[in-house]
Structure 1
Amino acid sequence: MASCANCAAPLPANSQVCRYCGVRNDMDLLGRQAVRVADAGVKRQCPNCEIGLQTVALSREGTPDIERCSECFGLFFDPGELEVLLEDSVAPVADFNLPLLQNINRERYQADRPVKYLKCPVCQVLMNRMLYGYQSGVVVNRCKGHGVWLDNGQISHLLEWKKAGGQLLDRKKAVERQARGRTETANTEFRSNYAAPTNQAGGEFEVLETIAEVVFKLFE
């Protein structure tokens, strides 16, 4: 679980506001990265607060700059940036811990959270809501052309998910889906190749049967 940078108390699920000291924590990246504002421009707009997003730079080399709202601390990632950040911020794991993943999701699940469709910070078109990865429990807003929006606290959830082996489990399920798809395709091709001759043979049998009935009537 993420901790408050001010008093070290555990932060509530899906929030960066400390319940003990009241400090609003910035992005939690397991304490491994410092954050500085690289650009306070207003080209991209927060879909929640409708103010310009800041561009923030992370201290680790190779980590992409990302957009952040200074009010709600939501984050916007260009295509591929979220995956780079997850890879850079969490050490590789050898296996997945399914009970831990389930506990993380139970703790962070918000049954009363309203479903809200947000506009893309770039094109202002409504984004699609989708689950990020198998057993992640994180529903993100994605614009196919411009990137992914994460609400306050969701980056912490995804970091915990990856640390518990969620990304490994997601890749395992993807391989299984591909294998099922290949099997279904092969079965479909098999049926299409062998169904036609069977029907054709049945049709020829019906024709022969009709001819036999005509010949039989001629000799009655």
Structure 2
Amino acid sequence: MLNLKILAERQPIFDDSAESLAVQGSSFLKHFHGSELVEAIETQTDVENSPAVFVLFWGTEGSLGEHALHLWKRSAYKWKNMINDKLNIKREAVFGVVKCDEEGIELCRAFGVLPKQKPQFLAFMDGQRVGQEMGIGEEEFFIDWICLILMGSLIHIKDIETKNNLKESGPFTLGIFRDEQQAEFKSYRRVAVLLAGRYQLAYKLDKRQRENKN
């Protein structure tokens, strides 16, 4: 992470008409520059249940980048103002943008993003990259992705409230296990990791199975 910080500090603040229009006056969408993004990711490891960071990396090749930028703004606005409270998700989210232009090219490359690639959306939690999207869909596509990241790849259903919240968020697969030491559960958990950010898995522990075992 130190190399990323060095690269970030070399980046000057830039101004761009399209970006300014999208970010200006939008408290829910942060324009990351300098070392701000790296510091935001590093801070996640210091604070328990710290906000997740969702970032659009975009270039200036054609109009696709600007389209992604405005789509990202609308998605972030919708999440902050309508979706988050409805789903009762406890973890906060920070939304931002990084421009992969001539001045920011080294920082983007440090995060594995090349300026001539399609716009990329990265998600970070607890100091780690936990999600990546390269497709451009509608707002609902990104809302679903954000929800999957914030809820986690594997949800333990302990009560009816958790189950109802999960139903509100969209489709999911439910597994029922004796305990978390069961071999089948460990395999299920590995699948959840592979599908993180793409599909939701949940599980319940069945007391009757434990009693029958005993």
Tell me which protein shows more strand as a share of its residues. 2
Larger Rg: 1
Q: Which has the higher contact order (CA 8 A, sep 6+)?
A: 2
Normalising by structure 1, what TM-score? 0.27
Tell me which protein shows more helix as a share of its residues. 2
Normalising by structure 2, what TM-score? 0.28
